[in-house]
Copies of this chain bind each other. A is one copy, B any other.
Amino acid sequence: MKSAKNAISPTRKENYAEWYQQVIRAADLAESSPVRGCMVIKPWGYAIWERMQVVLDSMIKETGHVNAYFPLFIPKSFFEKEAAHVEGFAKECAVVTHSRLVPDGNGRLKPASPLEEPLIVRPTSETIIGESFSRWVQSYRDLPLLINQWANVVRWEMRTRLFLRTSEFLWQEGHTAHASQEEAKAEAMRMLEVYRVFAEEHMAMPVICGQKPESERFPGAVETLAIEAMMQDGKALQAGTSHFLGQNFARACNIQFADPDGKLTHAWTTSWGVSTRLMGGLIMVHSDDDGLVLPPQLAPQQIVILPILHNAEETQTILDYCETLRFRLRAKTYHGQTLRVLVDTRDRRGGEKSWEWIKKGVPIRAEAGARELQSGHVSIVRRDNGQKNLLQINEFVEKAEALLADIQESLFRRAMELRAQKSKRIGTYAEFKEFFQGEGCGFAETFFSFDGEAEEKIRSMGITPRCIPLASNSQTRPCFVHPDRPGQFVIWAKSY
């Protein structure tokens, strides 16, 4: 089924960054808008995001959290409460200063009615949710407080890229308050695990769970945990973060509780989030030179049935045949849900339709024309590897679930293999430089002493310490820059 010529130009090899944009365009996922840095998420892209939301939302609820909604705007004075936080976000925020437009006399409008206090469009909601928490939390009986919010946020990015970095993006942000440090740390860890399971089992995207080094921490956090994924070009994508905030925000927002003895104590808080950035990861991990490749669990349509119609008299019989197939498939489940199956009856050329679904990444295409109908067969093509099979219709209905499971698993395995190929244990600084030479990319696994000067020098090469993997169990070995010092296990990469 693979054609000699690919649907996406340039290919990954020719120009990975441009290939990424072209995959998005070919799958009709999103587009830039005339509003600086903001994107329009188109129906196919939004349908994938909705699948992500449904799965994540249920995982977040199963771990005891409830959804709520807090204001879009944050008063400037709230923002000023936490020094590191404001330092991190003040440089890139949308500021509302007026509440009215009036004619300027030249047939245009100008802002009027200045606000007493400017409002910031939330870049993240610790300070505004903290204000509510300070009222909701009185006694240890009110804890833990486990809240999640689905929302849009704005960070005034200078260089934007669809899904990966946009001025406005969609996300969920969890915010919790606890009576003890241990409990809050455990919460941050629990949510990191939720993200890992989501990334690996639903997105089929392998991730490394780790601690962020100080230089990469969330502004105001004591500890930032993250899941880091490798894209096909060997660059890293921070796909989700979970922060242990200590008592920093509890102090800034005055979240205090009376313990069983009546003593007032500041709560321990966490926050954690994933965003539409995951869409960027999903695209870059699995897609190929023919366009998007979707893992079955997140595909808005898992199977597309394409009737092959050549002459008018057989049309209705073939359409009925396809509709019956859809009906039978819909009675089957995959991963606890009814199969999502579409019959594409649009009046277009078969080849055109077929290529459209290839570019949109639908896991299985099933073609049926006069030939298939006569013998009770259907032609199956897998999107992940292009394998084509002529199957008895009963056999396909019986096998559909297993086939989807196999595609899901293959995508994960393929991504694991690529990551293994592009990861390397690095013992010396010379090896390190060689690894990243020119276009060189991948995960460099080192032991590093977090010497500030060395880190700065490496950063200036566009390479950052991605995380200290949890799996390293805090073991130390000689630092790859200063072998006389003990180093922690650190993964370095270029990143998105």
Contact = CB atoms under 8 A, between A and B. Distances in A.
Nearest to A49: B69
Contacts of A50: 67
A73 B40 CA distance: 11
A47 B69 contact: no
Given A34-B131, A75-B35, A76-B109, A147 B43 contact: yes
Chain A, interface residues (CB within 8 Å), range: 35 or more
A314 interface: no
A10 interface: no
Most buried by B among A38, A66, A71, A97: A71
Contacts of A80: 108-109
A69 B40 contact: yes
A68 B95 contact: no
A93 interface: yes
Interface string A109-148: 1010000001111000000100110000000000000010
B101 A120 contact: yes
Contacts of A119: 35, 94
Contacts of A68: 40-43, 46
A95 B351 CA distance: 49
B71 A96 contact: no
Contact of A96 (B49, B96, B100, B151): B96
A100 B109 contact: no
A72 B109 contact: no
A349 to B, nearest CB: 14
A70 interface: yes
Contacts of A38: 71-73
A131 B32 CA distance: 12
A152 interface: yes
Contact of A73 (B99, B108, B168): B168
B94 A90 contact: no
A492 B448 CA distance: 76
A69 B46 contact: yes
A100 B92 contact: yes
A170 interface: yes
A416 interface: no
A95 B90 contact: no
A194 to B, nearest CB: 19
Contacts of A97: 95-98, 111
Nearest to A149: B46
Interface string A241-280: 0000000000000000000000000000000000000000
Contacts of A411: none
A457 interface: no
A307 to B, nearest CB: 19
A33 interface: yes
A132 B71 CA distance: 27
Contacts of A111: 95, 97, 118
A92 B90 CA distance: 26
B154 A72 contact: yes
Contacts of A43: 66-68, 147
Given A97-B98, A132-B40, A72 B33 contact: no
B67 A47 contact: yes
Contacts of A99: 92-95, 156
A67 B147 CA distance: 26
Contacts of A75: 34-35
A432 interface: no
A317 to B, nearest CB: 26
A227 interface: no
Given A67-B43, A69-B170, A101 B109 contact: no
A100 B108 contact: no
Contacts of A191: none
Contacts of A66: 43, 46-47
29 contacts: A34-B78, A34-B131, A35-B71, A38-B71, A40-B68, A40-B132, A43-B67, A43-B147, A49-B69, A72-B152, A72-B168, A76-B101, A80-B108, A86-B109, A90-B102, A90-B109, A91-B101, A93-B100, A94-B98, A94-B119, A95-B99, A95-B101, A95-B111, A96-B121, A97-B97, A97-B98, A99-B156, A101-B120, A111-B118
Given A33-B128, A72-B152, A95-B100, 19 more contacts: A34-B78, A35-B74, A40-B70, A41-B69, A42-B68, A43-B66, A46-B69, A49-B69, A72-B121, A73-B168, A76-B101, A76-B109, A80-B109, A95-B98, A96-B96, A96-B97, A97-B98, A98-B118, A100-B156
10 closest cross-chain pairs (CB), A and B:
A38-B71, A43-B66, A95-B98, A41-B69, A90-B101, A35-B71, A99-B156, A95-B111, A97-B97, A94-B96
